[in-house]
Amino acid sequence: MTQPAIFFAEVNERQGLFHRRAILLGAFAGIGISALGARLAYLQLFQTQRYEKLAVSNQFNFKLAPAPRGVIVDRNGAVLAANRPNFRLMVARDKGSDTEGVLKSLANFVPLDDARQRRLLKDIHNAPKRAPVPVMEDMSWEQFSAINVRAPELPGVTADVGEVRVYPHGGAFAHVIGYVAKVNREDIDDTPNPEPIMLHPGFRIGKQGVEKALDAALRGRAGAHKVEVDANGREVGHDVDGDIPAVPGDEVQLTLDVDIQNRALEVFGEESGGAVMMDCRNGDILCMSSAPSFDANRFVRGLTGPEYRALAGYERKPLLDKCLTGLYPPGSTFKTMTALAILNAGIDPEARVSCGGGMNFGGRYFHCHKRGGHGSQNLHEAIKNSCDTYFYSMSLRVGPDRIAQAARAFGLGQTFDIGIPGQKKGTVPDPAWKKRYFSKNEAQQPWWPGENLSYAIGQGYLQVNALQLAVMTARLANGLKALNPRLIKSVGGKERPKGSDGPDLPFPTDHIERVRAGMAAVTDQAQGGTAWRNSQLGLGDILMAGKTGTAQVRNYDSGGSRGKGGTWGLRDHGLFVAFAPIDAPRYAIAVIVQHGMGGGAAAAPRAREIMRTALLKDPELMSRIQKPVPMPPLVADPELDTVPAVSNVERPV
């Protein structure tokens, strides 16, 4: 380095050039950084609100929470369907989570066998990521707290408290109230605008009866929890103040009475059938019981395959509602209608028919149920003795149209707006109906006079359900109004219209009075009616009037046991309709004992027990029952100078 590195002039030129260009670089950097600052100002000072909104919508999610389902109560406020806390265990899968290992660890706290673990693993795998899959319901408090304590070591596991439907009376209301269950594909497809809450794992939908019919009211409006989530959707916090409260479902009050309903199921025992009781002043249904029944709580939890097969396969059909869906020939209970038709035809009720055990008609012998015959019968006696021959004979003078007119006026062959689905109309035949029914088969269309005979005693094409029989009896007992049954008293505190708001019955009161007198004789010991042995209430001067019915389920012409024994499915149905008290009717009841044989023996005592429960619960009637019997006048005993013991004076209970 002996000589100067570069010529001075050149040095100056290069240096000067560099300095000018370096200023440009500095200016460029300055402009660039200012531009960044301007951009920041635009984003952070002028667009803040927009991006704040976006940040909040990133940060918070609303998680739906089902509303508490509305409670269902009986006419006195006793709870028929309620909710109780349910400790649930759920597992969701996430990126990189070891679901299999998690399930294995869970098996230490709750019973999860290998087969169930495998099935759950598949369910969890098929579910969307981070969607919780229920693993166990109804854990005990110990299980719930043990898992909650260990939650940090169990990724994807949540144990929370939900609500589960509970039916405290088990099976007694199963057919009326129905049950709730998990939402399935069809439920969503059937709903025009499915709410998002339907996809919530804790949500249950009404599947039968009141739960289904009033589902919208019972459901309430779902609320939401405001939760803080991270970018992967994991919940990291809960903003309690931001929660949207759920609106609980409406309370539904039924007209049913829990004591009467429970008693009805009780008295059926092992038998199959239905019992419907109505208040014959206002149409309220106090009892609508179908036996045998099933425990609705099991359906809430979800039936196992064998459980369902056992219920569906049992010949006494516990899943069938025998009050609304089951159709039966009314048998002799229908003679009340035939009697009204006879009176309506202008036939003198005192006109007599001689019963010698049956009658010949159209080349066929029509038996009376009493082989020996009843002798000479007028209308009153014919009802009391349920004499078939009288009604056979009269039916030929009355004709099917009049009988059908009476039946329809009293509620047979129709459905009622009681607010729950499943009612069958049944059949009230007449020549016009038959022509319609056999429109494809002309040979079957004419109404044969012989059909009048079966019709008159409640057989043939005639089919009714227990509710219709109860309405018929209630209308007879009321005597004035064409009562409609009412099952749902109020929804959310709003009362539904009463059943007595309808029109009057199109029959003169004295006709109805005559039929009722006949029904009173049926249960009267002094007159020896068909049901007097099994229809004594034992409640002092409060008496029950009724009509028995024994309905054939097959034609006996081929001989055999006449339905009094043998194979259960071939036995006669036993029916009984009744009302009480006779002097001021309050309650009307219809009881059908499927294949129970003999209305007087199978159905009447059950009707009596249910009726007693209703009467004893009625405070006005109780005061009448408990009214002290006047003291018998004291007769001085010349031999004993003492007062006789009061204890021999019978006091009704």
Partner 1 sequence: MTVSALTRPGERDRLIVKLSELDWVFVLVLSLIAGAGALMLFSIAGSSWTPWAAAHVARFGICLLMMIALAMIDIRVWFALAYPIYGLGLLLLVAVEAVGDIRLGAQRWLSIGSFSFQPSEVMKLGIVLALARLYHGVSAERARLSWWLLIPAMMIGVPVLLVAHQPDLGTAMLIALTGAAIVMLAGLSWKIIGAAVVGALAVIPPFVLFGMHDYQRQRVLTFLDPESDPSGSGYHILQSMIALGSGGLLGKGYGLGSQSQLNFLPEKQTDFIFATLAEEFGFVGCVSLLILYAAAIFMALRTSYLSHSHFGRLGAAGVTATFTLYVMINGAMVMGLAPVVGVPMPMLSYGGTVMLTVMIGFGLVQSVRVHRYAEVTSGKGSFV
Residues near partner 1, by CB under 8 A = 1, 5-6, 10-11, 13-15, 17-19, 21-22, 24-26, 28-30, 32-33, 36-37, 39-41, 43-45, 47-48, 50-52, 54-56, 58-59, 228-232, 236
Please report, to the nearest 10 degrees, the dihedral formed by the alpha carbons of residues 401, 403, 409, 413 taken in order.
Answer: -90
Instruction: Dihedral sign for Cα 358, 362, 364, 366, please.
Output: negative
**Residue 52 or residue 94: which is nearer to partner 1 going by CB?**
52
Helix (H) / strand (E) containing 522: helix 509-522
| In contact, 569 and 561? CB cutoff 8 Å | no
> Which residues on neighbouring strands pair with residue 224, listed in sequence order?
64, 244
Instruction: Please name the residue that has the structure tokens 């709003």.
Output: 494
Least distance (Å) between residue 17 CB and partner 1 = 4
CA distances in angstroms from 328 to 176, 501, 567, listed in the order given: 19, 29, 18
Least distance (Å) between residue 49 CB and partner 1 = 9
Helix (H) / strand (E) containing 217: helix 215-219
**Residue 100 or residue 230: which is nearer to partner 1 going by CB?**
230
Least distance (Å) between residue 235 CB and partner 1 = 11
Rounded CA separation 391/625 (Å)? 37
**Residue 47 or residue 376: which is nearer to partner 1 going by CB?**
47
Least distance (Å) between residue 175 CB and partner 1 = 51
Q: What is the DSSP secondary-structure string of 53-94? A: HHHHHHHEEEEEEPPPPPPEE-TTS-EEEEEEEEEEEEE---
Rounded CA separation 173/420 (Å)? 13
Least distance (Å) between residue 131 CB and partner 1 = 18
What 3 state SS string does 118-163 have?
Answer: HHHHHHHHHCCCCCCEEEECCCCHHHHHHHHHCHHHCCCEEEEEEE
Least distance (Å) between residue 51 CB and partner 1 = 3
**Residue 55 or residue 312: which is nearer to partner 1 going by CB?**
55
> Any idea how long the chain is?
653
Q: Can you point out the beta strands (E) in 350-509?
A: 353-355, 358-361, 364-367, 375-377, 488-491, 494-495
Which token pair is 494?
Answer: 């709003």
Instruction: Please name the residue that has the structure tokens 């039968």.
Output: 208
Helices (H) and strands (E) in the chain, counts: 22, 21
**Residue 12 or residue 354: which is nearer to partner 1 going by CB?**
12
**Residue 130 or residue 397: which is nearer to partner 1 going by CB?**
130
Least distance (Å) between residue 93 CB and partner 1 = 19
**Residue 227 or residue 487: which is nearer to partner 1 going by CB?**
227
**Residue 39 or residue 84: which is nearer to partner 1 going by CB?**
39
Maximum CA extent, the chain: 173
**Residue 13 or residue 142: which is nearer to partner 1 going by CB?**
13
Rounded CA separation 347/511 (Å)? 11
Rounded CA separation 194/208 (Å)? 19
Rounded CA separation 333/472 (Å)? 10
Rounded CA separation 565/553 (Å)? 12
Least distance (Å) between residue 137 CB and partner 1 = 32
Least distance (Å) between residue 7 CB and partner 1 = 9
**Residue 10 or residue 186: which is nearer to partner 1 going by CB?**
10
**Residue 11 or residue 247: which is nearer to partner 1 going by CB?**
11
Least distance (Å) between residue 6 CB and partner 1 = 6
Least distance (Å) between residue 23 CB and partner 1 = 9
> Which residues on neighbouring strands pair with residue 495, listed in sequence order?
490
**Residue 230 or residue 541: which is nearer to partner 1 going by CB?**
230
Say which residues have a Cβ less than 8 Å from residue 375's Cβ, sequence separation at least 6. Answer: 354, 355
Least distance (Å) between residue 64 CB and partner 1 = 21
Rounded CA separation 168/145 (Å)? 26
